């Protein structure tokens, strides 16, 4: 069995090398592993740095097209039986890979979503409080709306780690080019009756000063994506 790890990267020069090395260090034997990094039109030297890293497949976009566009490029290039999404920062822990892909290895489902909230309950008071109260509220709103519309009981739709069989990815075309790509994909899978499992994952949030990119505007687009794909015919152009 083979795992394809897809890493979309946009202006991540400060972290991409460390991320790739952490992914390379994960031992999934006897599962083979390929790492595909898609540079999405970076202008900070990320693309040039990727040329110096061995042991990866490096693809690139001439212009920035969005996270979803980079994932689409990576998915199309993947040769693994299982495909997993990895962000190009240090917020997520590749050491979680085995637990994320195990349900797929066992052929118990079609897709796996990693949930940050099965392990952590963010605190917003005291010395170790999270600075992202609005993000937490936004995440909870997305969870409530998605579960209500699609009849599910998942705890986190915005965690980075999601894994799929390559077969189901090939049969589920996604139009989105931005951060809402994951949501469109998952919503279409749920509409089509795919078996999805949720597993706990670790999470170390970074700040905007360290390159965090998603904001409330993306959240509104994500909510609209969730709503429209509940009612539009699958495959209908928007």
Q: Domain extents for the chain?
A: 2-231
Collapse the DSSP code of 227 into the 3-class scheme (helix H, G, I; strand E, B; otherwise coil) and give the result.
helix
CA distance 173 to 169: 7
Report the first-to-last Cα separation within the chain, whole angstroms: 36
38, 59 contact by CB (below 8 A) = yes
Interhelix angle for 181-191 vs 133-150, to 10°?
20
- Contact of 143 with 69, CB cutoff 8 Å: no
Burial class of residue 133 in the structure, from the number of CB atoms within 10 Å of its CB (0-12 exposed, 13-18 middle, 19+ buried):
exposed
> Would you state the pLDDT for residue 234?
84
pLDDT of residue 124: 57
**pLDDT for res 201:** 97
* CATH class for the domain made up of 2-231: alpha beta
Among 141, 226, 139, smallest CA distance to 186 is for 226
Residue 61 CA to residue 66 CA, distance in Å, equals 10
Its sign, for the CA torsion 9, 33, 120, 19, is: negative
Give me the residue label for tokens 């920062």: 89
State the Cα–Cα distance between residues 12 and 34, nearest whole angstrom.
Answer: 20
Structure tokens at 159: 């965690």
pLDDT for position 139: 87
Residue ranges of the chain with per-residue pLDDT less than 70 = 122-133, 206-213, 235-238
Query: HSE of 53 in the Cβ direction (CA atoms, 13 Å)?
Result: 23
Query: Chain centroid to CA 207: how far?
Result: 18
What's residue 129's pLDDT?
54
pLDDT of 25-55, one tens digit each?
999 999 999 999 999 999 999 999 999 999 9
Query: Do the beta carbons of residue 134 and residue 216 sit within 8 Å?
Result: yes
Compute the CA torsion angle 27, 1, 160, 15 (nearest 10 deg).
Answer: 40
pTM above 0.75, yes or no: yes
By DSSP bridging, strand 2-9 and strand 111-115 are: unpaired
């Amino acid at each position: 069995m083979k795992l394809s790890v897809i890493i979309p990267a946009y202006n991540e020069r400060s972290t991409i090398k460390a991320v790739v090395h952490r992914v390379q260090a994960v031992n999934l034997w006897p599962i083979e592993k390929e790492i595909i990094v898609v540079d999405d039109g970076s202008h900070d030297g990320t693309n040039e740095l990727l040329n110096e890293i061995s042991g990866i497949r490096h693809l690139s976009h001439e212009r920035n097209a969005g996270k979803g566009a980079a994932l689409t490029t990576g998915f199309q290039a993947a040769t693994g039986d299982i495909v997993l999404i990895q962000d190009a920062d240090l917020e997520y822990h590749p050491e979680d890979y085995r637990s994320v892909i195990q349900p797929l290895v066992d052929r118990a489902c079609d897709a796996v979503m990693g949930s940050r909230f099965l392990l952590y309950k963010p605190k917003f008071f005291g010395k170790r409080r999270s600075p992202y109260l609005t993000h937490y509220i936004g995440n909870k709103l997305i969870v409530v709306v998605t579960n209500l519309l699609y009849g599910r009981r998942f705890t986190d739709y915005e965690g980075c780690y999601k894994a799929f069989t390559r077969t189901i990815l090939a049969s589920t075309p996604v139009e989105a080019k931005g951060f809402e790509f994951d949501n469109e994909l998952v919503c279409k899978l749920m509409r089509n009756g795919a078996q999805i499992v949720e597993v706990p994952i670790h999470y170390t949030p970074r700040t905007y000063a360290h390159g965090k990119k998603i904001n409330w505007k993306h959240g509104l687009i994500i909510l609209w994506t969730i709503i429209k794909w509940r009612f539009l015919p699958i495959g209908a152009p928007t």
